[in-house]
Structure 1
């Protein structure tokens, strides 16, 4: 369930020592997510972080609002470090992602000199450690994981993470595939089609398939159950309630209900139709050209593997993207997976555009 109050310390003063060791005039505080200037400054910091780490920036204020808006703060907390002129120079955000797993955003302005940047980084990590203890205690845990990401080429971030006790645990390929207009015919109809006894369809909407109504709850629960079952043995998988799952996915700036698909198969013995796979997609908006589609989640139950469920779902989102005039479909692949999961993506035309890493630290709660 989504808690009425989040599990973090909302006042930075309760999570940091009285003197955090910053230069005279520098302050630590919680940002005002309703202040447009603050949101724009955080977006500027985020874009600078992306440019330094991968060579280009893609985020904007929508990505920041996921972290700092009133809705986002149900499961998150934020802190900023301001210089004597009141300019935000560092930003930290923690997300109570699932039981035992806390995500951390850690960004320090590239324009700050090295000594002060080091201290800002240390303050963010000290604050995150305190937040890990708070959320872990609220969940009744003995150990709380902090999970943060870094671009593979960001050596400054790597050095800070290693010095703060984090360990690199995973590498991820961020992949993209171009889409041609003719691929709108890749499947008969992205809304519903069938191949070899497998039905691929959008989640049903209240009021019918052409309605803008909310999706059928039974379909949404089927998507959640498929993904929970498909990812049980995957790296760092953590159980997530249905309410947490829906709340988190709806926060995505690219969220669209008409980008959620189910794959169903009929039981040979009973004839009953059962969910076998699911794909949750979203929109990747572009300010300079066509939008793209993104595969946020793709899961197939073990009992249905080998029946072309995954490839069918991927063909569906490609055809859907082409029909909408989009020029690409993106996704993330676990580069360290022993299953060779990337094979289907490379075979269908995906290539790696940049690489990210997961870094973890386990914090004792008591």
Structure 2
């Protein structure tokens, strides 16, 4: 039995949670209501990072491991207080997406079975300005978490040399994300260009560990710096958000002093609230210290002046200026 619906007062807004006893996470038997309580416990740092941003919902109405789908558009029948915003793809397709206006909006989505929030890198009020650089350190097959950890330190070292402050979080899976809060001056094309330059610089410095190669056949057993996570309309799994895994792992911000010892699988809805209560938000103050993208854009301009083309874009994007042929190298040789 999953129980009768309960209505909660979430910051002055009533949100009904149906089937609160439905098990969402099989490993410890945590329920939909347990997930609601988790988000209430971390509401402060959660809204500090994704508040006011559009959200792509990953829905698992039967819990982690069940049937799922991504939902960009909110349903037609929604509460009159629910805030949405129009998001547009580079191809011109538009959708009414949920905005993380406050905690009630998050809990409303959890009630729909949302076990993952993927966040746009801009505020709903200013979609033309991208204010986050997201450095996705993606382990290729055969890469250990220790190697990802090392890549994070090396990325931070380079960014620090450039005068750029970065923050780190687990992904809730096998990788790590570095976030840089940017001054509100650049669009997503410029931020992606900066990400490409960073990835290439890391590969030049550490070719045995890090790769900027888009095609999987060229990556080898290295950590891929996924620059295309900064392409227009791309989202990244949100900080403090819970993965649709049986253990209810959290994509958790951590301090750099925690990176060497962190065990990502232990950061769950059962453990993270106590950590937040004990040591606060590791990303506190990030909004008060926006960073300049210009050092990375200078590197990008230098790469282009040296004859490098743009890096490949994902296949769903229109062909971009100065982009190399969008075909895997092995196929290009056969052709």
Taking structure 2 as the reference length, the TM-score comes to 0.30
Taking structure 1 as the reference length, the TM-score comes to 0.28
Bigger radius of gyration, 1 or 2? Answer: 1
Greater percentage in strand:
1
Greater relative CO (CA pairs within 8 A, separation 6+): 1
